[in-house]
Structure 1
Amino acid sequence: MKKVRDLVDGVLLLDKPVGLSSNDALIKAKRILNAKKAGHTGTLDPFATGLLPLCFGEATKFSQDLLEADKTYETLVHLGIKTNTGDTEGEAIETRPVDVTIGQIEAVLERFRGPILQVPPMYSALKRDGKAYYEYAREGITLEREARPVTIHRLELLGYDAPFLKLSVTCSKGTYIRVLGEDIGEALGCGAHLNALRRTGVGALTADGMITLDDLSQHAAPLSLLAPVDALLSTFPSVELNDDLAKRFLHGQRLALGKEPSVAVPAEQGRVRVYHGGRLLGTGVLGEYSILAPERLISTAP
């Protein structure tokens, strides 16, 4: 008999362990919570650890925002050794001596700050002709890849104990830290691969309050560890609607908030989170003349 899953809504800030794929981590968390619907917000490589926000139920409607968000990482770059995957999971393909100074490292890091072009790695989930790059790579096939623009918002040297370089990186979506580490190694003349990678931030979400799978499985009330759905929307201004406006909003109607003296309207146009009686109704877009257009609605809202 098929197990009945529960309707679970919320966000879990999972501290993904090393060795698990993001999807495997999601499946384990979903099973522990007996949740009917769940999704993650952008993959972490199996060798990587750290912040993997998991969305359950109604929160999955807003997961795209985190896919588009900037990410923050701490990484340990092993200079002098290149691997075929760019990380510890691959085989060493080249070894070179490491003879660099802090001054040389700082000068090279400056070259990678701001907008840069990055060639996606062969060992990635990107696809060509319906087949993932890593499948081609495992067959010994190397494809031509076009460089893509990404932005390194912050690149900070945390420490250098040769041959290990510890960095903190905040970057735009689509950035491969493996490739960044390899490119820094090449610029230093010695090559490199990632020894460790830990994600500490996704958009406005941080590592504070992360939960391990062990913590989740051993907790007497694991559902209490979930953050509310609107944890994903904390950077948006909020709008509180009265009874009549809330009903109309949930029916998909546009609202002229400028004509409603009871509603405090945010000063700037753009996306907003919408509430009634303190409960999230969904998101909307505030346009000219304080017109609020519904965007994504919470089906469990009253």
Structure 2
Amino acid sequence: MTAVTGDRRSVVPRRRRRWRDIALFALLAGPNIALLVFFVYRPLLLSLNYSLLQWNVGSDVARFVGLQNYTNWFTAPGTGQIMLNTLVFTVFTVGGGMVLGLGLALVLNRRLPGHTFVRTVTFAPYVLSGVAVGLLWLFIFDPRYGVLSTLLGALGVPSPDWYNQAPWAMVMLIIVYIWKNVGYVALIYLAGLQAIPHEVVEAAAIDGASRWQTTRQVVIPLLGPTTFFLSITTLLSSLQSFDLIQAMTRGGPVGSTTTLMYEIYQEGFVSGRAGFASAVATILFVILLVITIVQLVVMERKVRF
């Protein structure tokens, strides 16, 4: 009888602690969960609903059309060009940013004079407004009076018409996007480099490995988790880029820099076709979801934490 009473006394405090932990979790996580539901998941569900409607911004009438908006999108003559623009922009900005960011991190990881100041300057463009950066670089790329035109002229090279020639407008966007975001990639890679044990690098040097061999065969494989994280975050950010495109090219010339994200803006806020824009936004969401899942499933298998 005494043993049973003792067990009951021990169970009661455990239950109280459990409910206290649940209450503390609800108090701390509840507001964040509520904000996510209201500002993320609720708009997502509303967008899915709107994508099934023929509805214009400001109109009081919305007609259910099912999958007609999706059919119109996939059969539109400009869809292929928009998908190609999105692919080219994403591949070059993510790939270029990762490569340049890693190289910059390897340089910044050395104890050079003024390295703290250089790190700050490198990261500064990432926190600047995309619109301000785009307007600044428009003056640099000006084919007649820009700094780049002057430098190319000094070398005897004519400056391309960055604004009005289709290939060069995309090149201009890619350069500016990489410049703005490479500091973020370098900072994350730098944190990964500083987390690598010095003993591992010293052991490779003792075994006779050169600096390049150590970097390629020891350092880069150990940066696998960092590369895995950056590949996801930079890819999602690139696919959702809007501010630079709006500030510099506005999707032109002749739609050569219009990406999926910018097409959503054009259809929703310029043309006012809210239902059609919601369908394009849903397509972009599905693309982001699929890419993220593929990265998590495929790349995670090759990463050693």
Report the TM-score, using the length of structure 2 for normalisation.
0.22
> Could you say which structure has the greater relative contact order, defined with CA pairs below 8 angstroms and 6 or more residues apart?
2
* Structure with bigger gyration radius: 2
| Greater strand content | 1
| Greater helix content | 2
Report the TM-score, using the length of structure 1 for normalisation.
0.22
